[in-house]
Structures are given as structure tokens and as C-alpha cells.
A and B are shown apart, each in its own frame.
Chain A
Amino acid sequence: MRQPNILFDGLPLPFADGQTIMEAATAAGIFIPHLCHHPDFKPQGSCKLCTVKANGRHVSACTMPAKDGMEVENNSPDLNDKRRTMLQMLFVEGNHFCPSCEKSGNCMLQALAYELEMLTPHFPHFYPDRPVDASHPQVLLDFNRCILCELCVRASRDVDDKNVFALSGRGIRKHLIVNAESGRLADTSFSLGDKAAHVCPVGVIIEKGRGFALPIGRRRYDIQPIGMELERAARCRGSGEAI
């Protein structure tokens, strides 16, 4: 029987039954910009960076199941303009001061801004006041950089079985909270071994004592653009090279 295909940016892309657009693209080594999506977790489609056009409608690639014959537009100037605007809104909503951030060079938000050539935040900055939580002996929480992707929430709840994090509030007042009466991370059972300690795509959950062990300029996305990683991995799989 013929394998079902979607028409992805004009090219046929085979997919397995039950796969989302994101999963089909990822399996083929095609990068769709995303922040809240992580292959280990149930997709929630909240960051909207992975917005594609499927049969003419804007949908989240991470939640939309692929359907045979579906026409998907991904890497187009129009969609990338919209994604850049979403990044700009994320940048002005928090305090993303890259030069002082230990995550710089390993940060997905920053890497996507490079990928989509975001040169300016464009909008007026909010400069919110969000105190850091340095109470935990192993981990620092810098809420200034939170983009509300809920990956730590999902990891702590679904994998670590600890429910350490949650989002609280509505709309522009929505923010990340720690599940302790004091609100402090030190007063939870959170530890560095938790899955939640290692899923933050930006610089909120920072391991203490590491700092700038690997200098800026030699980090993950300094070495290779985020959009090239998947493609290279797929090429290496195809040729049997080490990734």
C-alpha cells in the first residue's frame, strides 16, 4: 500500500499513521521553529512558533496530525515574518539580557532569533520586575527569562512525579510559580537529577557552579545554527556517520 504523504513546502513528505506535522518533519530532518515542543512530552501548542499553514489554515505543527494529501507551508517569508514578530514579543515581555545570561549560546529563544534574523525587539520593552529565586543549593531560577513554555511544568508533573512548577495568573499576568507554601524552590523536593532541571529551552533553570565553564562563542548554537542540527543528524543517519 502507498505510504501516506503530506506536501511539505511543495515536496512530498511521507509520514506514519498518528504522526503530527512536526513529528513527520522532524523524522525527515526538516526543522520547524518551536519552543514549547519537546519530543519527550505531549505537545500543547502554546508558543505558536511552529505555526504552519495546513491546507491554507494556520495551525500548530506540533499538535496537528498529518493527513494524506495535506498541503503544508512552513519555510515561507510570510510565516517566518510572523514567527519573528512572536519572538520579538517574547523578548520585550521578559528581561532577555543575553550578554549576562549563562544560557547564551545554548538558548533556543536566542538561536531562533538568529535563525529568523531578528535584529531588533521592535516593540517597547516591558522591563518587568521579576526577582530571582536563588534559594536552592544546586539550581537558580531566573524568572526574567521565562517564556511560559511549561516544559518544566510538564517534566516535573509527568516524569519526575513532583509537580514542582505551575503557571499562575491569566493573560499578561501569567507567570511561573513554585509549588511550595513559601514559593521558594529550596522548600520543594526539586533536585538536579530531575528531568525538569534539564528541559528549560531558555535561561530560567540554571545549574549553579557551572557558570561560563564553556566560554561564549563555543556553545551549541555558536557551533551550528539551530535549523541545521536536525538536517545534519538526518544526513549522518543516512550515511552512517557519527552525529
Chain B
Amino acid sequence: MNAAVDRKKPRLATTSLAGCFGCHTSLLDIDERLFDLVERVDFDRSPLTDTKQCASCDIGLVEGGLCNAENILVLHEFRRNCKLLVALGACAINGGLPAQRNHLDLGQCLQEVYLTGPGIVGGQIPNDPELPLPLDKVRPIHEVVRVDYFIPGCPPSGDAIWKFLTDLLDGRTPRLGYPLLHFD
């Protein structure tokens, strides 16, 4: 019987792109409600499961914006596999802190950090082919794929994430409203 019920459980995937994992920490901040959550959903690709590939999912929570090529690949993987894609937190929604570099020239940034900055002797700009190439500007995820829902906040509170997920799982249109809707 459990197996039959389990098959009907929605699948939830989460990832952090150019973020600080603060939004994931906020997800953990739902505390004992995590027990309710694992009763109601199965986790797919997520730092919580350490699964590296996203299978077909119902909900994808994406923390962080896009600062390198790998972020774009992961975002497309999520969009392909998730029925509902959710931008979780400020960086996914507007680029957030990483986007504060957007008015700087990327080449000059790399030069200063790895070559000409104080105390650097014999430095070199990392060029290992395994390293994803940085983008010239950090972008929010809605500028690259269609996003179905947005949960603002830096990070959104555990209560906001819980309200959103329970609204969605209970079949209501998710609505944060005051005071859960916050940009800071």
C-alpha cells in the first residue's frame, strides 16, 4: 500500500546555482515540518539527497542566479524535467549579491584577483577545462527560462517556503502576502 501511495507523491528537486545556500538553509528552517514534507513529497536531485541528475519532477526549486555556463546547463536540466519551476530567493529573481559585479569588467576582475592584486606572485587565471566559464554578467533565471513561481527574500523565511509549498501541495494558488513577502 505504501508503494502505491508513494508513487503518487509529487517529486521535488532543488538546486543552488549562483547562490550562497542561504535559501536551502531557510528550507531546513521549516524544522520539524521537514517530517511532514518528506511524508508529502519525494526528493529528487537536491543537495539533501546528493543526487546529481534531475529526473522527471513536479516541482523544482532553484536558488541562485546564473554566473557561469554550468548554471545555465543545470537550469535547463531543471526546466526540462520540472513541471513547475520556482525561483527561490533574491539571487534567482534579480541576480542578488553576485550580480553586484555586473558593472565591473569580468576580464579586469579576473586580472586583479589572480594576477595584479596585492600579494600575488606568479599568479595565473584558472583555466582548467573542468571549470565552468564565468558569464560576463550575472543574470536572474527568468531571463533564460520560463519561471512559474517566485519566492522573494534574502533568504525567504522558512515560513514563506512552507506556506508556498503547502499552498501548492494542497491545490491552492501559492500566495505569500504580508508579512511573508520580503525582499531583504
Contacts and interface: CB of A to CB of B under 8 A. Distances in A.
B181 A127 contact: no
Given A114-B178, A127-B102, A127-B137, A120 B142 contact: yes
B183 A125 contact: no
B140 interface: yes
A117 interface: yes
State the majority secondary structure of interface residues on A. loop
A100 interface: yes
9 contacts: A95-B100, A95-B103, A113-B183, A117-B175, A120-B93, A121-B140, A125-B139, A129-B103, A216-B184
A-B residue pairs, 5 tightest by C-beta: A98-B183, A99-B154, A129-B103, A119-B150, A127-B102
A213 to B, nearest CB: 15
State the majority secondary structure of interface residues on B. loop
Given A99-B184, A127-B99, 17 more contacts: A99-B96, A99-B154, A104-B184, A110-B184, A113-B183, A117-B175, A117-B177, A117-B181, A119-B181, A120-B150, A121-B140, A124-B143, A125-B94, A125-B95, A125-B140, A130-B103, A222-B179
A99 B183 contact: yes
A29 B99 CA distance: 40
A225 interface: yes
A33 interface: no
A122 B93 CA distance: 9
A120 B179 CA distance: 17
Interface size class of B (residues with CB under 8 A): 20 to 34
B87 interface: yes
Contacts of A128: 103
Contacts, number: 73
Interface in A198-227: 216, 222, 225
B143 A125 contact: yes
B97 interface: yes
Contacts of B137: 127
A159 to B, nearest CB: 31
B90 A98 contact: yes
B147 A120 contact: yes
A124 B142 CA distance: 8
B143 A98 contact: no
Interface string A103-121: 0110000100111010111
A46 to B, nearest CB: 24
Contact of B87 (A104, A120, A129): A120
Given A114-B181, A127-B103, A129-B103, A99 B143 contact: no
Contact of A97 (B96, B149, B151, B176): B96
Contacts of A190: none
A91 interface: yes
A105 B179 CA distance: 11
Interface string B141-159: 0110001011110100000
> Which residue among B90, B137, B184 has the maximum number of chain A CB atoms within 10 Å of its CB?
B184
